[in-house]
Chains A and B, each alone.
Chain A
Amino acid sequence: MSNELDPHHWAQAHADYLYAYTRARISDEELARDLVQDTFLAALEKVRSFEGRSTERTWLTSILRNKIIDQYRKKSSGLLDADVKRAEDEQADFFNADDGHWNNEPAPKHFGIDNYDPLHSKEFDHILMKCLKKLPALWMSVFTMKHLDEEQTDTICTELKLSASNYWVIIHRAKLNLRACLQKNWI
């Protein structure tokens, strides 16, 4: 198996794969297409650095991955953007302001998730997707890196330029909102 680059076949050989990879991480179709195109063009400038140690596809994917993280970072610059503010407002009444105890209404209750069957999960997936989409871009980026790419905490913090304590706050807040959204919308 030779690991050589053949730019004349890049679009045919890899565009679908790279596009699907991007769309799993970024929902905006147009942005995803642009990132794939940018990846090809950026790769052309780096052909000299390709040492044949990985396959062409792996090499292109690593260039793309950096571009996706740049996007995450761009979207998440400024922790207190409106997006995050809105999500934080949603959970303002989850806990008693004085002692931190659950308030009655938003407290966890039994709902469909408690006997969730992964084999018949299409509808559940749909609701989950809907709830995930409501999360701020930054929180979603953290989730994607953690659950899809299974990155280590350190890597996520470094790449998204987050402090460790911010990271834990985001993980907590994102889950609180997600669980509340599921409890509210589960049929």
Chain B
Amino acid sequence: MGVLSKITRNCNHATFLIEKKLIKPLSLRERIFLKIHLIGCDACRLYQEQTIRISQMIKNLFKESPAGNVTLDEVVKKEMQDRIEEKLNQN
């Protein structure tokens, strides 16, 4: 396998670099690899678009859920407070 085809064929490494790039700047070598790879690879270009979108979706999902509607039963809270009081009285 020639040097160039090692770059153009290796989608496994290209997707790895796409993920890394979303978090921190790539090295020069990594940037060149990715750039050359993406020129010829439709699948990885699509992967890049989709994974950016997925990160955004995860962020949205975590932001809005589930804090609003998750609460504890009053009985549970009472039990919690009882154990706090118990411990306070020990000291």
Contacts and interface: CB of A to CB of B under 8 A. Distances in A.
Interface residues of B, number: 50
Nearest to A132: B58
Given A37-B83, A175-B51, A178-B54, A23 B62 contact: no
A121 B57 contact: yes
Contacts of B55: 147
A37 B80 contact: yes
Interface in B42-85: 43-44, 46-47, 49-51, 53-63, 65-68, 70-72, 76-78, 80-81, 83-85
B9 A153 contact: no
A59 interface: no
Contacts of B23: 146, 153, 171
What is the interface of chain B mostly: helix, strand, loop, or mixed?
Answer: helix
Interface string A141-160: 00110111000010000000
Given A107-B43, A147-B55, A10 B62 contact: no
A153 B19 CA distance: 13
Interface string A114-157: 10101001001100110010000000000110111000010000
B29 interface: no
B58 A100 contact: no
Contacts of A101: 9-12
A41 B87 contact: yes
Given A94-B12, A168-B19, 5 more contacts: A12-B77, A15-B72, A128-B57, A132-B58, A178-B54
Enumerate the 7 nearest inter-chain pairs by beta-carbon distance, A residue then B residue, closest first: A100-B12, A11-B81, A100-B10, A20-B67, A99-B9, A95-B12, A148-B62
